[in-house]
Structure 1
Amino acid sequence: MSALPGAEARIAALTAPEVAARLAAGAAVLLPMGSLETHGPALPMGDYLIAEEIALRIAGAARAAGADALVAPAIPFGGEDFFAGVPGSISLPGAVLQAVIEEMAGSFLRAGTTRRLLMVNGHAGNIPAAEAAARALRQRHGAVVPVLHVWRAAGALHAELGGDPAALGHGGDPVASVALHLRPDLCRPEAARPRQATGALLGLAPTGFGTVRAAGVEFAVPMQVEEVAPGGVQAPDPRGASAAHGARLVERLVAAGVAMLQALRDHAP
Structure 2
Amino acid sequence: MTDKLKMAELTSEEARQHLNGDAVILLPMGSLEDQGTHAPMGDYLGAECVALDIARAARAEGVPTFVAPPIPFGGSDYFGSSHGGIAISQPTLTALLDDIMASLARHGLTKILIINGHGGNVLAINEVTQAWRKKNGMFVASMYLWQISYELLKDILGPEQAAKSSGHGGDPLTSIGLHYYPEILRMDLKQAPPKGRRVMGMELAGMAAVKYDGARISVPMEAIEAAPHGVWGGDPVHSSAETGKALSERLVKIGAGFIRDHVSKGFAG
| Interval containing the TM-score (normalised by the shorter chain) | over 0.9
8 Å CA contact retained: 2:208, 2:223: no
Q: How does 1:14-29 map to 2 (within 5 A)?
A: 14-24=10-20, 26-29=22-25
Q: 2:155 aligns to what?
A: 160
8 Å CA contact 2:21–2:110 kept in 1: the answer is no
Distance 1:9 1:151, change over 3 A: same
How far residue 38 of structure 1 moved from its aligned partner, in angstroms, is 0.4
Q: What letter corresponds to residue 264 of structure 1 in structure 2?
A: V
Q: How far 1:72 moved relative to its partner?
A: 0.6
| Mapping of residues 175-186 of structure 1, within 5 Å | 175-186=173-184
Secondary structure of 1:60's partner? helix
Unaligned segments of structure 2, at least 5 residues:
none
CA deviation string 1:93-114 (max 9, x = no partner) = 11111111121122111222x2
CA-CA distance at 1:120 after TM superposition: 0.3
Distance 1:220 1:200, change over 3 A: same
1:118 is paired with a residue of what secondary structure? strand
Q: Deviations over 1:61-116 (max 9, x none)?
A: 1112221111110000001001113221000111111111121122111222x221
Alignment of 1:117 with 2:116, yes or no, is no
1:145: which partner in 2?
140
Alignment of 1:52-71 (within 5 A): 52-71=48-67
Cα distance in 1, alignment partners of residues 48 and 33 from structure 2 = 16
100, 103, 109: which one aligns with 2:99: 103
The answer to whether the 8 A contact 1:115-1:268 is kept is no
Contact 2:43–2:117 (CA<8 Å) still a contact in 1? yes
Q: Measure, in 1, the Cα distance between the counterparts of 2:81 and 2:219.
A: 18
- Alignment identity in percent? 36
RMSD: 1.5
Equivalents in 1 of 2:85, 2:206: separation in Å?
21
Change (3 A) 1:265 1:213: same
Which residue in 2 is equivalent to 1:248? 246
> Which of the residues 23, 27, 31 maps onto 1:31?
27
List gaps (5 residues or longer) in structure 1. none
Matched residues, number:
264
Structure 1 counterpart of 2:199: 201
Deviation at 1:206, TM superposition (A): 1.0
Q: 2:4 aligns with which of 4, 8, 14?
A: 8
Shift of residue 229, structure 1, vs aligned partner? 1.4
Read off the aligned partner of 2:186 and give its amino acid letter. R
Aligned to 1:94: 90
- 1:198 and 1:227 in contact (8 A); partners too: no
The code of the aligned residue for 2:153 comes to: H
- Asked if 2 retains the 8 angstrom alpha-carbon contact of 1:198 and 1:230, the reply is no
Whole-Å separation in 1 of the counterparts to 2:13 and 2:93: 29
Matched, 1:257 2:252: no
Post-superposition CA distance 1:40-77 (Å, at most 9, x none): 11110001111111111111111122211111100000
Displacement, 1:256? 1.1
Q: Cα distance 1:16–1:198, how it changes in 2: closer, same or farther (>3 A)?
A: farther
Q: Which runs of 4+ in 1 moved over 6 A?
A: none
Which residue number corresponds to residue 189 of structure 2? 191
| TM value normalised by structure 1 | 0.93
SS of 1:46's partner is coil
CA shift, 1:24, in A, is 2.2
When residues 236 and 259 of structure 1 are mapped into structure 2, their CA distance, relative to the original with a 3 A threshold, is closer
Distance in 2, matches of 1:181 and 1:91, equals 26
In 1, distance between residues paired with 2:56 and 2:170?
27
